Structure 1
């Protein structure tokens, strides 16, 4: 089936308005959906999402679709690379329905979790569904939408968690939740005012001075400043004290390496700016964290209830590593090292950096977050970034990565135990 252009999806999405009635998001007025985890897994495993997309579009055109199906259609569009079309559909759905349910695997839920999300692309909210896969937890997701806010009556739940990110698009949603937070009827995890500290230009200030932890100052620089720097009108130190060439530059607000570059000198900065249209950037000093064998090793840690867990280890001959461009699936030697990293994590990596990790967890203050890091040449924990929305999943093929499913289940179990602990504490305080 040929791929439909984003514009055609947008035009067909105009018929979403008959889907379900507007709601005040009071229990039990939710709409069921397939959800992020199942649809992403289908795409990841090479499944064909086109037939499901056509089925959902047909139901919308007939006026028989539910709001949850509209949200599923939005996600399918994004997974097929049609982000703009998907977001148009999502915004139309959320204009009249904000509460959605992802049913649990058990016949009767053992716990009800309310996730507070923002109207943003599929990577902008914590993908909590992956963490709850196969559990007896019923997930309700309440989207905090501009101009609508929180409902007068919240749906019944045992524990709530904020899943909106620290991005600028989520600021208003976080502010609405923060205003209601002091009077929240159940335990509320990942408080919104703490999520804001994960911004690149705030995190380094928050973590400054931690013994054994290295985090470069990441500061905002305008296009005009960088042009002046490239022309020798100002020095690196005029932007921030520790800045020097080579430096790391990226457009503000981008993720997943979009626009990220290592700039070696002023002429390279001139060439970089000529290729970019953005007006605002983040700059930081470059840290060469190559190991003695010349390879770079980048780690992703999941922090749950103050405890670190190994999520993955990427090994490559380039400094700008993501797990995908490290091609771990094609190297038995790399996978063996990652397996050892996970197996010995508590007694090795976590033990070496225990003090730094403990202090970082205290300062960040979130119940759940993710850290991308490495070790610098002095053996310190080199922190690149922290956020609450990175995908932690169990989709990698066990035939290739047999060591991953047990590790992911360990993380999921810790996350569920954290939710249960807070839920029970909430019952005690309510009593």
Structure 2
């Protein structure tokens, strides 16, 4: 996944590889791994239905996949427990293991298919399935045997389930110095009923009023995300969306004095926060690519400062809130996307275990990012090794 994603990120044409693998699939010489690659390429080329269909066919007969290790003699063996879903709904763990001495095996858990007995050889396991609807069956399968898992099991399913948008605010809402708008799951018909009246949202949640942020339930990567300012805009939005249920929350204007919006990604490893990236744009709905960071030296300088001074700057300003958030979420690895409100609170947009933390940006444009990503990757691998060592000491 990491290799193909990097190629797409760099603008390389994946269609020749697609044609090569299609030919092997048609003549019966494609391996299961090449079939899975084919499904990933289809998604990266924008044909998600075809990619998922190919993946579905491959996983019907093969659920276990190995990723080539960077070194000939791995330091440890990691088993990743994945769900049959799109490429954005499992933790992109290959990025975190870049150039490491960790041997990765991925096991896809399918509805109605039991876990292999015996399990693949591994030193520890990590759940990489997300809290999305199409991962729920996989999470239930793991949860049913989690207490009997023979090795350390990181990111347990019961904690991943707390990351759903309408649960997260209840988990974090009373933390001092932290702001997280309440998120409500609302059906299409209820939203249409609320649209004509400015105060009709009171029937959904006290205090909820236009403008609101809305997105389809289960969506990610900004799909269907919109700011809706009034009832007429809500009617137009719903007319363009086929989904039956949506997440709705109040809009928070987190722009700075210069009118720019700043959005941060922070990675947590065993409770410790690390700067992931910083995006700056004149629009509220930021993600890194639409901020055009590569085109602005001043934006990159601000991101570099954020990264270099994180422990004495952003991290120190919000230390209490970040510590409390990490303790309540409880996962060994997760990320948050966040901002700062005008009164200095830490504004949480989302927390999940599947956001991309990568080292794909060109080093000639982003020379500061490689060292920071290396710190995150090294901390992640050190955490894995420590968990294996602690398990060995307990057994002794």
TM-score for both structures, normalised by structure 1: 0.90
Matches within 5 A, 1:170-181: 170-181=135-146
Alignment match of 1:317 (pick from 271, 282, 287):
282
Q: Is the 8 A contact 1:229 1:236 kept in 2?
A: yes
Equivalent residue for 2:167? Answer: 202
* 1:379, distance to aligned residue in structure 2 (A): 0.1
Equivalent residue for 2:74? Answer: 109
Alignment match of 1:414 (pick from 359, 376, 379):
379
Equivalent residue for 2:341? Answer: 376
Secondary structure (helix, strand or coil) at the match of 2:356 reads coil
Secondary structure (helix, strand or coil) at the match of 2:41 reads helix
Q: Is the 8 A contact 2:159 2:331 kept in 1?
A: yes
Gaps of 5+ in 2: none
For 1:254 and 1:105, locate their aligned partners in 2 and report how far apart those are by CA, in whole Å: 34
Secondary structure (helix, strand or coil) at the match of 1:369 reads strand
Equivalent residue for 1:403? Answer: 368
Q: Is the 8 A contact 1:250 1:281 kept in 2?
A: yes
Alignment match of 1:138 (pick from 82, 94, 103):
103
Equivalent residue for 2:31? Answer: 66
* 1:52, distance to aligned residue in structure 2 (A): 2.3
Alignment match of 1:387 (pick from 352, 355, 358):
352
Q: Is the 8 A contact 1:149 1:173 kept in 2?
A: no
* 1:337, distance to aligned residue in structure 2 (A): 0.4
Secondary structure (helix, strand or coil) at the match of 1:59 reads helix
Q: Is the 8 A contact 1:369 1:388 kept in 2?
A: yes
Q: Answer with 325-334 or 146-155: which moved more.
A: 146-155
Deviation per residue, 1:380-420 (Å, 9 max, x gap): 00000001001110000011111100000000001101111
Q: How large is the RMSD of aligned CA atoms in angstroms?
A: 1.3
Alignment match of 1:230 (pick from 195, 203, 227):
195
Moved over 3 A (4+): none
Equivalent residue for 2:178? Answer: 213
1:151 pairs with 2:131: no
Deviation per residue, 1:237-273 (Å, 9 max, x gap): 2211231121111121111222222122222222222
Deviation per residue, 1:74-121 (Å, 9 max, x gap): 111111112111111111111111111001110111110000000001
For 1:79 and 1:253, locate their aligned partners in 2 and report how far apart those are by CA, in whole Å: 20
Q: Answer with 420-429 or 261-270: which moved more.
A: 261-270
Q: Is the 8 A contact 2:198 2:210 kept in 1?
A: no
Q: Is the 8 A contact 2:263 2:280 kept in 1?
A: yes
Equivalent residue for 1:11? Answer: none
For 1:259 and 1:65, locate their aligned partners in 2 and report how far apart those are by CA, in whole Å: 36
For 1:249 and 1:147, locate their aligned partners in 2 and report how far apart those are by CA, in whole Å: 34
TM-score for both structures, normalised by structure 2: 0.97
Q: Is the 8 A contact 1:132 1:416 kept in 2?
A: yes
Secondary structure (helix, strand or coil) at the match of 1:421 reads helix
Q: Is the 8 A contact 2:198 2:230 kept in 1?
A: no
1:306 pairs with 2:263: no
Deviation per residue, 1:185-208 (Å, 9 max, x gap): 100000011001000000000001
Alignment match of 2:126 (pick from 161, 165, 185):
161
